[in-house]
Structure 1
Amino acid sequence: MGDYGMSGFGMWLGWLIPLLFIGALIYFMNANKKKDLSARDILDQRYAKGEISEEEYKAKRDAIK
C-alpha cells in the first residue's frame, strides 16, 4: 500500500528530463550554425574592422555589383 509507482511527480520528471535534453540539443545545434554571409556583408565587415582602405572598399564594392 502507498506505492504509487510512476504516477504524480515521478511521471512528469520522466518526461521532463528528455524534453529538456532535446531542447538543449536543438538550441546548441542552431546556435553553432554559421550565418550565410554575402560577399557584400564580408566586404562591409572588413572595411569596418579597418582591414582594407576606403579606395579598396569602393573598388571591390563596385566589382561585386
Structure 2
Amino acid sequence: MMGFGWIIGIAFMVGIIWLLSKGSGADSKSDTKATRTALDILNERFARGEITNEEYQEKRNTIA
C-alpha cells in the first residue's frame, strides 16, 4: 500500500495545477468573443471586404 503513495501525490499536484490554471483567466479569449456586438461584427466584415459600402450602410441602419 505504501508503494502507491506517490500516485496520490502526483494526482494531488495535477489537481492543484488544474485548479490554478482554471481560475487564472487562461480562457479569456472565449469571454471576449461572447461580448462582441452586432456592430463590431459588421465593422469587421466591412474591413475584410466581405460586404460593400452600400451593404454596410444598410445593415448599420438596420442595427441602429
TM-score category of the 2 structures, normalised to the smaller one:
0.5 to 0.7
| Structure 2 match to 1:49 | 48
SS at 1:32 equivalent:
helix
For structure 1, the residue ranges without an aligned partner over 5 or more in a row are 1-13
Q: Map 1:1-65 to 2 at 5 A.
A: 18=16, 20-26=17-23, 27-33=25-31, 34-65=33-64
How far does residue 29 in structure 1 lie from its aligned partner after superposition?
Answer: 4.2
Identity of aligned pairs, percent?
A: 32
Q: Give the number of aligned pairs.
A: 50
If the length of structure 1 is used for normalisation, what is the TM-score? 0.56
Displacement of 1:64: 1.2
